[in-house]
Amino acid sequence: MASARDYDLLVIGAGSGGVRAARVAAGYGAKVAIAEEHRIGGTCVIRGCVPKKLLVYGAHFAEDLEDARRFGWHVEGARFDWPTLRDNVLAEVTRLSGLYTQTLENHKVTMLTERAVVTGPHSVRVGKRDITAGVILIATGARPHVPDSPGCEHGITSNEAFHLEQLPKRMLIAGGGYIANEFAGVFNELGVKVTLVNRSDRILRGYDAQIRDRLLQISMIKGIQFLFNSPIEKVVKEASGALTVHMPGGPVECDALMFATGRVPNTGGLGLESAGVEIDSNGAIRVDDESRSTVPSIYAVGDVTNRVQLTPVAIREAQAFADTVFGKKSTKVDYSCIPSAVFSHPPLAGVGLTEGEARNRLGSIKVYTADFRPMKNVLAARNERALYKIVVDAASDKIVGAHMIGPDAPEILQVLAIAVKAGIRKAQLDEVVAIHPTMAEELVLLK
């Protein structure tokens, strides 16, 4: 694609979406540059999915070591060292960031490691340079939202949680979404006294109610304290260094306060208004089903568009963008049946309609559940039950939703999601012979 402009494509943000779009567009022969103000890899690699999952693995050893005794293993003097886990995780993050950088280099994508600001439909200011491009892709992601009540600046977010000097004795986590619950699980397993406070009366909005309740119940048994209907009014830093968090039910003292109170699209100060790019009331870039903004030469993918804030979705959108604009194959992302997981202790996952949604939309449904204690938990004397649930449209016998909580639930659900997406009927699930003994066999034995 020859042009008088500096690049065919300039991508802002080298995260999940930006890197995929840059690489694929370059593969189609486009001259591509990518601007990144922090680190190549973006949220998922640097301070999201990857380091989070590694911490979840690290934290789970607490239970594994406890359970080991019932299996005849005596691990004397086991102790946990936070700096070892933290530094190993951060080193892995650096390794992965290096691999992303290499991928971009291999595809001859020019990396500009500075903040970029849009200055017009075809122009961007990167650091002190003005750059022109045929197409601009905004893939700047989202950032943690911190409430503006007095003293909230004393809190941290997930960004800082990966870098803690030492583990606090008492931690208050504000929020009820997946990030709040995942970090609550991690820090609780690592011996921190965790209190999760939420301004509403429930956790994990959007997930099936029965599955959420099971996590709440197990989390409480594990020692996590929950305070609902508790918006934070103010935070006071005491002379001792402790924080007193004031809420309608009374103050709670902690040594660290973490906000996991949602993520807002990174559109502030990006110059979008001057270029004519419209954003919605949440600050997200408005795009059509080909990810094109209100300015024809400017596109946006990933969290900055606030469609579904997940890495695989950002990657899909980026791939579709590159295929459509540079591969000349018009491609649209299918947002139906996107599975997702919460890497809590134990983890949970879901795809399709929850029981409540299915009841409202379809009227007549059938619900099949398996509520059981996994074999390993039985021998470990761990009183923790798994729950699998399949929601079926009574008229067609089609499976419209699947939800589960228990060991390895995300791994199992990923495979089940294929069947749900393919629209299989419950009778077809019943035709499958079980693999015994497994937890997943419960899915083909649901009566």
Contact footprint for ligand FAD (CB under 6 A): 12-18, 35-38, 42-44, 48-49, 52, 115-116, 139-141, 158, 179, 266, 270, 302-304, 309-312, 314
> Minimum CB separation from ligand FAD for residue 149, in Å?
22
Question: Burial of 28 by CB count in 10 Å (0-12 exposed, 13-18 middle, 19+ buried)?
Answer: middle
Tokens 């469609």 belong to residue: 307
> Minimum CB separation from ligand FAD for residue 52, in Å?
4
Distance of CA 77 to the CA centre of its chain: 35
Question: Burial of 213 by CB count in 10 Å (0-12 exposed, 13-18 middle, 19+ buried)?
Answer: middle
Beta strand pairing call for 263-265 and 193-197? unpaired
Adjacent-strand bridge partners of 226:
196
Measured from the CB atom, the residue of 118 and 391 that comes closer to ligand FAD is 118
Q: Name which of 212, 167, 197, 155 is nearest 58 in CA terms.
A: 167
Marked catalytic residue, from 38, 107, 163, 436:
436
Measured from the CB atom, the residue of 198 and 311 that comes closer to ligand FAD is 311
> Is 436 in the active site?
yes
> Minimum CB separation from ligand FAD for residue 72, in Å?
34
Measured from the CB atom, the residue of 59 and 247 that comes closer to ligand FAD is 59
Instruction: Please report, for the chain, how many H helices and E strands are present, in that order.
Output: 13, 22
- Amino acid 50 reads V
Q: Name which of 231, 240, 268, 262 is nearest 170 in CA terms.
A: 240
Measured from the CB atom, the residue of 264 and 390 that comes closer to ligand FAD is 264
Q: How far apart are CA 331 and CA 322, in angstroms?
A: 9
Q: What are phi and psi of 363, to 5 degrees?
A: 80, -75
| DSSP three-state, residue 35 | strand
> Minimum CB separation from ligand FAD for residue 89, in Å?
12
Q: Give the burial string for 138-158 (b: 16+ CB within 10 Å, else e).
A: bbbbbebebeeeebbeebbbb
Q: Name which of 36, 53, 45 is nearest 315 in CA terms.
A: 45
Measured from the CB atom, the residue of 319 and 377 that comes closer to ligand FAD is 319
Measured from the CB atom, the residue of 37 and 67 that comes closer to ligand FAD is 37
Side-chain half-sphere of 42: how many Cα atoms within 13 Å?
28
Q: How far apart are CA 174 and CA 197, in angstroms?
A: 5
Asked whether 291 and 269 are in contact (CB, 8 A), the reply is: no
> Minimum CB separation from ligand FAD for residue 47, in Å?
6
Radius of gyration of the chain, Cα coordinates, nearest whole angstrom? 24
> Minimum CB separation from ligand FAD for residue 342, in Å?
8
> Minimum CB separation from ligand FAD for residue 10, in Å?
11
> Minimum CB separation from ligand FAD for residue 3, in Å?
22
Q: Name which of 284, 304, 282, 301 is nearest 292 in CA terms.
A: 301
Measured from the CB atom, the residue of 38 and 154 that comes closer to ligand FAD is 38
Measured from the CB atom, the residue of 116 and 245 that comes closer to ligand FAD is 116
Q: How far apart are CA 246 and CA 252, in angstroms?
A: 7
Catalytic residue numbers read 436
